[in-house]
Structure 1
Amino acid sequence: MTDDASEADALLVLTNAPPLEADAMARHCVDSGLAACVNVMPAMTSVYRWQGEIETATEQLLLIKTSKAAYPALQAVIEAHHPYELPEIISVPLGPSSPRYLQWLVAQISP
């Protein structure tokens, strides 16, 4: 990534994980250079349909700040380290954001 960061370069990736795995996943994403920052939200209850049944799980939401260039590798890491057969991985492009923050964000990423 260049220093000419724009909101077009940045993504917010959301995934949920069981509390015992959430912190380790967050640290791995940052340590591997695939995320500039990961916010691990407090435990919450998720209700969803899986294989025809209504399920309930305690999870933590991870808010992962990354770049478009790093997204494929980040997705692969989440899928490889996530305990779920089908982890939720959603990316949202960032809209207008602080230019200084965006420069910092993309400078932290090394895919």
Structure 2
Amino acid sequence: MPADNRNPNSIVQIQRGEFTEHIGGGRDVEETMFTSLSQNETYTLFRNSAEQNGWKTVNNGEYFSKNSMKMMFKFVDVSEYTSEKYGVPKHLQGKTIFRIRIEIK
């Protein structure tokens, strides 16, 4: 599910990324992305991409697992980015916003 902020025609764009390193070696990677696809199309694209890359569904799709990694997907409500003064940022209006979080043990 490639995201490309340099290409304005990219289907998926990154809003924010975060990398956390924990004492003892664990790491968390979280990316917040947005797309003009519907929620159903977005999740289907994500699931198919994950399965093609060797991720296995766990607990009926609650999360995906590969080796010692756990990947979770969730949709984000646009209200998290809505300002009382400015409203919804222009680049997020009408978009599907979602987060992918990977925990590495």
TM bucket (normalised to shorter chain) is 0.3 to 0.5
Higher helix share: 1
Higher strand share: 2
Tell which has more relative contact order, 1 or 2 (C-alpha 8 A, sep 6+).
Answer: 1
When the two structures are superposed, what TM-score results if normalisation uses the length of structure 1?
0.42
